[in-house]
Amino acid sequence: MTSQLLAFIIYFAAVLGIGIFFMYRSKNGGEEEYFLGGRSMGPWVTAMSAQASDMSGWLLMGFPGSILAFGMGQVWIGIGLALGTSLNWIFVAKRLRNFSKAANDSITLPQYMTNRFAATSPALQIICAVVFLVFFTIYVASSFVAGATVLTSVVPQLAGKESIALAIFALIILAYTFSGGFKAVCWTDFFQGLMMLVALLAVPIVILATKDLDASKLTLLVDGAEQTFNTNPFAAKPQEIITGLSWGLGYFGMPHILVRFMAVKKASMIKTSSTVAIIWVILSLGAAIAIAILGRMMFGQELVDNGAQATVFIRLVNTLFPGFIAGILLSAIVAAAMSTADSQLLVASSSFTSDIYKPIFRKNASDKETLWVGRIVVVIVSVVAYFIANSKGSGAQAIMNMVENAWGGFGASFGPVIILSLFWKRTTYKGAIAGVVCGAVTDVCWLLFLTKSTGIYEILPGFIVGLAACIIFSLIDKAPSEKAVKIFETATATDFAE
């Protein structure tokens, strides 16, 4: 057994241990305990789990790889994400925690959007739940692929055995999500977030301390012509800046991030959580940018010519560190993929169970029944995601390409409605439905017909149209009911849920 493989085994054993621990701790808990941790998450766990579930393997592979290959214009995606993270924590987190509590103690985002407007119709709740279930199943499949790719890259025994690596990765995530629920997911994400940050910071620090770098290798070859790798992001094209900043809009509609705000123990803890989260995301994104630039200076055009730019972090770790330490640091990539997959798996399950099964099929279902239905859905979603991820045809590739646009879809569909529901008392149920539908339709249509010709990321027009539709239809609609107004006033009271 290699020392690198031993590091991976220790890491996976720790993750499974957390799941078993929380299954024992919460064995008598019900639906809220399994899906929302009983609203008992502390500020540090809330912050770190939110950021770890947000930043998947993309942070350690896709993001630095795109900068290494295409230049500093890609940095604006990181800037947009940092701004979006900060605004989400500062303006949305505390209000959403209070509003979800005031709105009949809602435990899922679709449930909140229905209860917030005191609606009797389950239409919006069902629409949202179906969208969540479909897109998060695809999202989970994508995370399975990312995790399996890393395992085959860093564990020699799995080289060329993608199906086995995929099954191992999927089974580990399934085991602790099925057993421990939200608390297991949050606590594993907490430790995985720490691991990601340490790994990201360690690589550039060691490079700068030990290596002589060759700045001439920053030269890019684009279509056979040499171009300077401009290290100044402010020299980027306007289109790159707009597209990058638009990414930040996605945060306001990301269910697996927003649910962390709803689960924090006290609203007063949000200030500490936001500080931790914002520092984490700035350090992590900054380190990923540094890794791209330093990797370019060490390896030059080599990785790009081989189509392996996404492996720059793996290559640097294997070059700089001995086996066991390299295994620990490379576990950070697996941690990133797992921390995203487990959160999405749980949100997809909770959406089906709380927003479709219970209100439509079994209104009088007990907590125990709902809990086990949720666990069964976790298994079903995992199995479907596995087969999607394991498919070798062009159809599977098309699905994986859809995942890249799911961020825009969620942000455009739900972001405007979430913001208005928290800050505008006049928002109505019909306005919320219009915002979700119009935002989603605009996002998809722009993606299909206008993204290539305009170069504008589809979330921007989708978000604008969704926001306008929610406002217009709310104003056309009759005023909100007294109950809906009471929910708004209760949630915004200065001493509520402190």
Quote the CA–CA distance of 415 and 436 in Å, as a whole number: 9
Q: What is the pLDDT of residue 253?
A: 93
Instruction: Give residue 34's pLDDT.
Output: 57
CATH number of 3-391: 1.20.1730.10
Bridge-based pairing of strands 220-222 and 225-227 is: antiparallel
pLDDT at res. 55: 79
- Spatial contact of 144 and 152, defined as CB atoms under 8 Å apart: no
Average pLDDT per run of 10 along the chain, which is 498 residues long? 80 77 63 57 82 80 85 90 96 94 87 91 84 78 78 75 86 74 73 88 94 76 63 80 92 90 86 93 95 89 82 90 88 79 79 80 79 84 86 51 76 95 96 95 92 89 97 96 95 72
CB atoms within 10 A of CB 445: 15
Residue boundaries of the structural domains of the chain: 3-391
Cα 173 to Cα 1: distance, rounded to the nearest angstrom:
23
CB 262 within 8 A of CB 33: no
Alpha helix ranges (H) inside 211-269: 238-246, 255-263
